[in-house]
């Protein structure tokens, strides 16, 4: 192609000369966009007669730009090739630049590429308006609209021989990411060049948007696949015919079936009976309990479903999420506070009696045997129960506490065993799991077991023996796995003799028995407990208390019928009344310092707290006797096994049994 500059035949040429001589845009007759661009170039000090190439990128910088604009080039190249085919052989140059006017790619005939006038067109050269003056590429970037610049409309004379048509390419945020341009000889001006370039640039913009959306969709699909495959919940996706089209690994494990036996199977075939009817509901539901008969027994799940609609708002299937009931129960118990938080380290005391009780309880925690905690009210039986649970291999499971004396007689059955929907008037929709189900996998603590009604004792005995439970109003048998700890302030053997407690249930519960000593039998712990409770009150109130020495004298003399709980109340009572943060005798409850009360109680004196050697030997013998009885009970009277567990010989054990008058 031979490019010929014919400025004298261009009517704009004289206006261009006039502007350069005066710098006054108001005296020129040219298009408004061109005149405004000339004015910008004039004020920038651009030399209109300079014939050099001033701004281009070195190889390293160009390589970085090309890498950054890789997606733009990939999207634009097919359209550039089609545009070139349309103008092939006519001397046209198709150019793609970035948002800064830097040429990224170009397509043209070989003879056009070799023409001296096209020396300004090659990758890396900048066509910014501030660099080259008024031109289609740079001025389009300024104006953000398609533009054709012909002949002397260019500010610099070196490109008067060209006509250029350019249009912007936009990214997904509406920002210019590139410019598509076609340049050709001024005398070969094409009537529809600008329109064609604009259409092609819009097509590239659409392609970029589509590619971006495809990338986002692919990323979302990857995230969803990762989420689906890593969550512990079972996820099933069904089509509009209720057939499973996808299932995640957790779902396969829950159903206990290989994927080929699940994919393509309808829900009614996959889940039998009532569960199949519930799951196939096309409506949304949340945490509906279902029971699935799987290999190894029945499994309980909470099912949730969200329907899926197509673009015509027609039901296209649904997503079903299965979560093991055990997980939900454990989460509910933790959030409601029904969990074991206390450890053996929370038991305050250094007396022989309390240390011996902790020692036996620690040994009991390492077994799966049922434990019976006995002791007066307020001695801390629930603390022991929580500590045993937390020290056992069930510490990650639930801890469910039931106060048998606090539940109304007519409701204790539904509380313990649960019920199905419609089992009785007022039954909760969807039914409700009982305490046995909630505690499965962990520990069930029955406080005040001696207050359990006789009719429920029979049901409790059956559950302990069979390790299965059936909800009220249901025929489904639910297997349970619990460790049972019971507590009472009653003498259960006396209750057996009265006929209010079953003898066979007593023997089921009395596998390991631990006596929690009353506070009056471990008076050396009163000071430790008092300091512990006072420190707790001090932290809560943000202050420090002083204590008169005489206060401890009265505390040691008192009989403490309410045990540790009563001592805690006394400390809080005195701290609330201490105006100057000094706890005096006068601030103690009257029963502790009234002379008449002291006389009636006939409590031991303070100096009697110091035990003699003989007294300690007797207490040690008492503790050893209890340990021997506990082991014999644990092994159903088997002397050999009990002796081995105690670490002594059979003959030694027989001697100790005679010494302590233990009847086997």
Residue 626 has pLDDT above 90, yes or no: no
Cβ 339 vs Cβ 399: under 8 Å: yes
Domain 232-325 -> CATH class: alpha beta
* CATH classification number, 519-609, choose in 3.40.50.150, 1.10.8.60, 2.130.10.10, 3.40.50.300: 1.10.8.60
Residue 156 has pLDDT above 90, yes or no: yes
Greater pLDDT, 291 or 318: 318
SS3 of the chain: helix, strand, coil, percent, to 5: 50, 20, 30
The token duo for 30 is 């040219």
Residue 228 has pLDDT above 80, yes or no: no
What average pLDDT score do residues 94-99 get? 94
Say whether pTM exceeds 0.75.
no
In 23-126, which residue ranges form alpha helices assigned H by DSSP?
A: 32-44, 59-68, 70-87, 110-114
Q: What are the distances in angstroms from CA 313 to CA 217, 308, 354?
A: 21, 9, 70
Average pLDDT in the chain = 83
**113-117, 434-438, 453-457: least confidently modelled range:** 113-117
Residue 596 has pLDDT above 70, yes or no: no
**74-88, 206-220, 323-337, 389-403: least confidently modelled range:** 323-337
Instruction: Please report which confidence band the pLDDT of residue 603 belongs to, taking 50, 70 and 90 as the band edges.
Output: very low
Greater pLDDT, 538 or 286: 538
Q: 29-50: per-residue pLDDT in tens? A: 889 999 999 999 999 999 999 8
Spatial distance between the Cα atoms of 301 and 284, rounded to a whole number of angstroms? 17
Residue 599 has pLDDT above 50, yes or no: no
Q: 298-356: per-residue pLDDT in tens? A: 677 878 888 888 888 888 888 888 887 765 555 545 444 456 788 998 999 999 889 99
What average pLDDT score do residues 617-621 get? 57
Q: What are the extents of the domains in the chain?
A: 7-213, 232-325, 338-515, 519-609, 613-659
Q: What angle do CA 473, 478, 479 make, to 5 degrees?
A: 155
Does 7-213 match 232-325 in CATH topology?
yes
Going by C-alpha positions, the residue among 452, 473, 475 that lies closest to residue 464 is: 452
What average pLDDT score do residues 567-590 get? 89
**344-353, 362-371, 607-616: least confidently modelled range:** 607-616
Instruction: Please report which confidence band the pLDDT of residue 203 belongs to, taking 50, 70 and 90 as the band edges.
Output: very high
pLDDT at 9: 63
What average pLDDT score do residues 506-519 get? 90
Q: Which fold has domain 7-213?
A: Beta-Lactamase (3.30.450)
Please say whether the structural domain 338-515 has been given the CATH code 3.40.50.300. yes
CATH of domain 613-659: 1.10.10
């Amino acid at each position: 192609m031979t490019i010929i500059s014919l400025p004298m035949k261009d009517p704009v040429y004289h206006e261009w000369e006039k502007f350069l001589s005066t710098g006054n845009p108001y005296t020129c007759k040219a298009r408004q966009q061109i005149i405004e661009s000339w004015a910008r170039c004039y004020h920038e000090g651009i030399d209109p007669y300079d014939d050099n190439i001033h701004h281009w990128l070195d190889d390293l910088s160009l390589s970085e730009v090309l890498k950054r604009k890789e997606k733009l080039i990939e999207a634009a190249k097919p359209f550039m090739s089609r545009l070139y085919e349309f103008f092939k052989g006519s001397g046209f140059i198709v150019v793609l630049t970035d948002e800064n006017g830097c040429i990224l790619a170009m397509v043209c005939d070989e003879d056009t590429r070799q023409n001296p006038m096209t020396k300004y067109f090659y990758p890396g050269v900048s066509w910014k308006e501030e660099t080259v003056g008024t031109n289609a590429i740079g001025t389009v970037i300024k104006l953000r609209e398609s533009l054709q610049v012909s002949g002397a409309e260019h500010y610099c004379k070196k490109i008067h021989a060209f006509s250029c048509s350019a249009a912007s390419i936009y990214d997904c945020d509406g920002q210019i990411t590139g410019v598509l341009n076609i340049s050709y000889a001024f005398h070969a001006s094409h009537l529809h060049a600008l329109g064609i370039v604009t259409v092609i640039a819009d097509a590239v913009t659409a392609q970029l948007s589509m590619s971006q959306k495809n990338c986002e969709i692919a990323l979302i699909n990857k995230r969803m696949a990762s989420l689906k495959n890593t969550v512990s919940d079972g996820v099933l996706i069904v089509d509009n015919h209720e057939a499973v089209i996808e299932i995640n690994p957790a779902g396969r494990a829950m159903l206990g079936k290989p994927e080929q036996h699940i994919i393509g199977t309808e829900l009614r075939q996959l889940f039998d009976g009532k569960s199949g009817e519930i799951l196939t509901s096309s409506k949304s539901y949340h945490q509906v309990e279902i029971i699935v008969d799987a290999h190894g027994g029945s499994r309980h799940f909470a099912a949730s479903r969200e329907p899926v609609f197509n673009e015509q708002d027609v039901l296209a299937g649904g997503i079903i999420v299965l979560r093991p009931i055990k997980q939900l129960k454990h989460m509910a118990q933790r959030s409601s506070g029904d969990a074991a938080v206390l450890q053996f380290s929370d038991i305050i005391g250094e007396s022989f009696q309390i240390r011996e009780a902790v020692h036996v309880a620690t040994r009991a925690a390492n077994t799966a045997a049922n434990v019976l905690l006995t002791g007066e009210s307020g001695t801390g039986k629930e603390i022991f129960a929580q500590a045993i649970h937390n020290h056992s291999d069930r510490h990650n499971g639930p801890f469910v506490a039931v106060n048998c004396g606090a539940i109304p007689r007519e409701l204790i059955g539904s509380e313990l065993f649960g019920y199905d929907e419609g089992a009785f008037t007022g039954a909760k929709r969807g039914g409700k799991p009982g305490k046995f189900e909630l505690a499965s996998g962990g520990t069930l603590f029955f406080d005040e077991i001696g207050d359990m009604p006789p009719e429920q004792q029979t049901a409790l005995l059956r559950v302990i023996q069979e390790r299965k439970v059936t909800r009220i109003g249901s025929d489904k048998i639910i297997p349970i796995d619990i460790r049972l700890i019971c507590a009472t302030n009653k003498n259960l053997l006396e209750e057996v003799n009265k006929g209010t407690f079953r003898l066979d249930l007593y023997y089921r519960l009395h596998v390991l028995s631990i006596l929690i000593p009353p506070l009056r039998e471990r008076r050396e712990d009163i000071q430790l407990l008092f300091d512990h409770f006072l420190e707790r009150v001090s932290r809560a109130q943000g202050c420090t208390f002083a204590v008169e020495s005489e206060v401890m004298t009265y505390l040691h003399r008192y009989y403490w019928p309410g045990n540790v709980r009563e001592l805690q109340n006394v400390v809080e009572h005195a701290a609330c009344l201490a105006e100057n943060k000094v706890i005096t005798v006068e601030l103690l409850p009257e029963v502790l310092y009234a002379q008449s009360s002291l006389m009636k109680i006939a409590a031991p004196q303070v100096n009697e707290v110091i035990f003699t050697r003989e007294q300690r030997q007797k207490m040690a013998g008492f503790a050893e006797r209890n340990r021997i009885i506990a082991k014999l009970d644990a092994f159903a009277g088997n002397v050999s096994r009990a002796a081995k567990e105690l670490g002594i010989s059979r003959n030694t054990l027989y001697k100790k049994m005679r010494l302590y008058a233990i009847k086997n």
